[in-house]
């Protein structure tokens, strides 16, 4: 195939590289085809890049939506928990839902058996001072012994006691404030070891049904052993609907169970009582608890002093 100079149009032999007339370099067909192929490949690669970026952008958008949905679910759950008074801060809420968080420990109910069983731990109503609270003749404390309650609170044991008989009105704060707004933000949380002694109590059963809701008030006493806990209730008044009747007989035996740094769990009279949390606010101490009665219904058991 004959070649023609692109500059002057002179006819050249096939093997010619330069034009004999004007000296212009002649184009190589194979080189042109190669360059055309490279240009086409580069164009295809350039067109493929937006598809890759589009895939990454879609994945990133999906992850953002997933995070937003998770935030909405957690936010709604936290609002419900705070409204029901189970948590006060978001940090406490996170601790509760983590498997290794605050509420991961579980207290297994134990049966302490008869009071005169020598194989069980018994609690005296007025226990004598422990050996590790006494001093020897030299006035020094026994070496190697520590009182586990010494650093648990700045409130001495047994200082705060009920100031007279309880009334239904002084427990209205629980339904009007705690169940609505939760525990006050300025409240100070208490340790389990500081709760022994006397309290006023209010038991609320069937709180969701105004026609069946009952309230009971009276005096309570918490007593602790090394790991054992006992709750004694002395009821005084019973409120059913618009009727308030005195309770002349005590139908309760002692509730017995265990305690640790997180909660108190006791059983008795066919019921299970769990106390947590506990706090002080405006010179009063409060213990919030739940009770499950024999028919499976849930209720509240609140302790308060003085």
Interval 65-82 mean pLDDT: 84
Label residues 234-270 b or e (16+ Cβ within 10 Å = b).
ebbbbbeeeeeeeeeeeebebbbbbbeeebbbbbbee
Calculate the dihedral angle through the C-alpha atoms of 236, 239, 306, 179, rounding to the nearest 10 degrees.
150
pLDDT value at position 275?
A: 95
pLDDT value at position 164?
A: 75
pLDDT value at position 100?
A: 44
263-283 confidence digits (pLDDT tens): 999 999 999 999 999 999 999
pLDDT value at position 279?
A: 93
Asked if the model's pLDDT at residue 55 lies above 70, the reply is yes
Could you list the beta-strand ranges (E) of 188-227.
188-189, 197-205, 214-224
- In the chain, what percentage of residues exceed pLDDT 90? 31
Asked if the model's pLDDT at residue 82 lies above 70, the reply is yes
Query: Is residue 127 left, alpha or beta, with left meaning phi > 0 and alpha meaning psi from -120 to 50?
Result: beta
Interval 182-198 mean pLDDT: 91
Asked if the model's pLDDT at residue 1 lies above 90, the reply is no
Given CA atoms 291, 225, 227, 199 in this order, what sign does their dihedral have? positive
198: its two tokens: 């006397």
Interval 60-67 mean pLDDT: 88
Between 110 and 77, the more confident residue is 77
88-112 confidence digits (pLDDT tens): 777 777 766 665 444 444 444 444 4
Q: What angle, rounded to 10 degrees, do the helices at 29-83 and 90-97 form?
A: 100
Q: Lowest mean pLDDT of 13-22, 43-52, 67-76, 140-149, name the range.
A: 140-149
On average, the pLDDT of the chain sits at 74
Between 68 and 81, the more confident residue is 68
In the numeric block, the tokens 């849930």 are attached to 298
Asked if the model's pLDDT at residue 188 lies above 80, the reply is yes
pLDDT value at position 304?
A: 94
Between 215 and 165, the more confident residue is 215
Asked if the model's pLDDT at residue 237 lies above 90, the reply is yes
Asked if the model's pLDDT at residue 151 lies above 50, the reply is no
């Amino acid at each position: 195939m004959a070649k023609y100079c692109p500059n002057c149009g002179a006819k050249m032999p096939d093997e010619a590289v330069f034009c004999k007339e004007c000296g212009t370099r002649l184009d190589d067909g194979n080189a042109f085809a190669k360059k055309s192929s490279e240009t086409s490949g580069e164009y295809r690669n350039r067109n493929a890049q937006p598809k890759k970026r589009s895939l990454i952008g879609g994945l990133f958008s999906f992850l953002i939506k997933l995070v937003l949905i998770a935030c909405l679910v957690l936010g709604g759950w936290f609002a419900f928990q705070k409204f029901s008074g189970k948590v006060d801060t978001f940090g406490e809420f996170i601790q509760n839902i983590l498997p290794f968080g605050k509420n991961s420990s579980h207290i297994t109910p134990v049966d302490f058996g008869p009071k005169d069983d020598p194989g069980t731990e018994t609690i005296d109503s007025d226990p004598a001072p422990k050996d590790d609270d006494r001093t020897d003749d030299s006035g020094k404390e026994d070496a190697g012994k520590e009182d586990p309650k010494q650093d648990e609170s700045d409130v001495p044991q047994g200082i705060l006691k009920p100031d007279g008989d309880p009334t239904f009105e002084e427990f209205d704060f629980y339904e009007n404030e705690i169940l609505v707004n939760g525990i006050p933000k300025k409240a100070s949380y208490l340790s389990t070891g500081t709760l022994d002694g006397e309290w006023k109590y209010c038991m609320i059963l069937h709180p969701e049904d105004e026609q069946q809701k009952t309230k009971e008030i009276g005096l309570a006493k918490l007593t602790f052993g090394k790991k054992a806990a006992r709750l004694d209730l002395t009821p005084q008044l019973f409120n059913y609907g618009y009727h308030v009747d005195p309770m002349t007989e005590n139908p309760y035996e002692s509730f017995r169970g265990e305690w640790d740094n997180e909660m108190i769990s006791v059983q008795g009279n066919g019921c299970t009582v769990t106390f947590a949390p506990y706090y002080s606010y405006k010179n009063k101490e409060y213990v919030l608890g739940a009770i499950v009665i024999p028919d499976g219904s849930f209720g509240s058991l609140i302790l308060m002093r003085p």
